[in-house]
Structure 1
Amino acid sequence: MENIDIFEAEILKSFEKGEFQSVVSKIKLEKFKAAARATAIKDQRVNIRLSLGDLKDIQVRALEEGIPYQTLIASVLHKYVTGKLVDVNEV
């Protein structure tokens, strides 16, 4: 690999040895997969305008979840219309 520093080389070596473990539980991973499957059938196109700040926040959250931001948006909308979106302030 070109242009990696010592720290990056150590991380790569550890990764190749299998020393890293996912921090996502199997249950949470299954929920992500189910959400992706539920939003996978896309037969309509919608264009929306978002503020730059909201879009950036969505992209960051999607990156944290490990899914494309468009999939996250579709998943949130799906959960909302099916009544599965939970307000964390009401729990």
Structure 2
Amino acid sequence: MKKTVQYDDEELEILKAWEAGTLKPISGVAKHMKAHQAAAEATFKKDQRLNIRISSRDLRNLQARALEEGVPYQTLAASLLHKFVSGRLVEPS
């Protein structure tokens, strides 16, 4: 199944600028990259283990969805939990 990419207005603006060749590098990019990388590593550090029991059916469905997404099912489960606790998991309308 091929996913259709949906861009928001800001992403479309960036894409158009990229295609037009009007993007300009920022000064001190290495410093910015290092700061963002450190923040990302701290955010996604996996330092705790969670063991849960779920139904066989739910596990099979999770594994099938992970296969569609091209990620391990444990990674998908962790991502879903992260999105839920951070308030970014949105139910489809």
Band of TM-score, shorter chain: 0.5 to 0.7
**Identity percentage of aligned residues:** 54
One-letter amino acid of the counterpart of residue 86, structure 1 = V
The root-mean-square deviation of aligned C-alpha atoms, in Å, is 2.7
Structure 1, unaligned runs of 5 or more: 1-22, 29-36
Cα distance in 1, alignment partners of residues 3 and 60 from structure 2: 23
Give 1:66 deviation, angstroms: 0.2
Give 1:87 deviation, angstroms: 1.0
Structure 2, unaligned runs of 5 or more: 8-39
TM-score, structure 2 length as denominator?
0.54
**CA offset digits 1:60-86 (Å, max 9, x no partner):** 000000000000000000000011000
Partner residue of 1:66 out of 53, 56, 70: 70
**Which fold has the larger relative contact order, with Cα–Cα distance below 8 Å and residues 6 or more apart in sequence?**
1
TM-score, structure 1 length as denominator?
0.55
Runs of 4+ off more than 3 Å:
23-28, 37-40
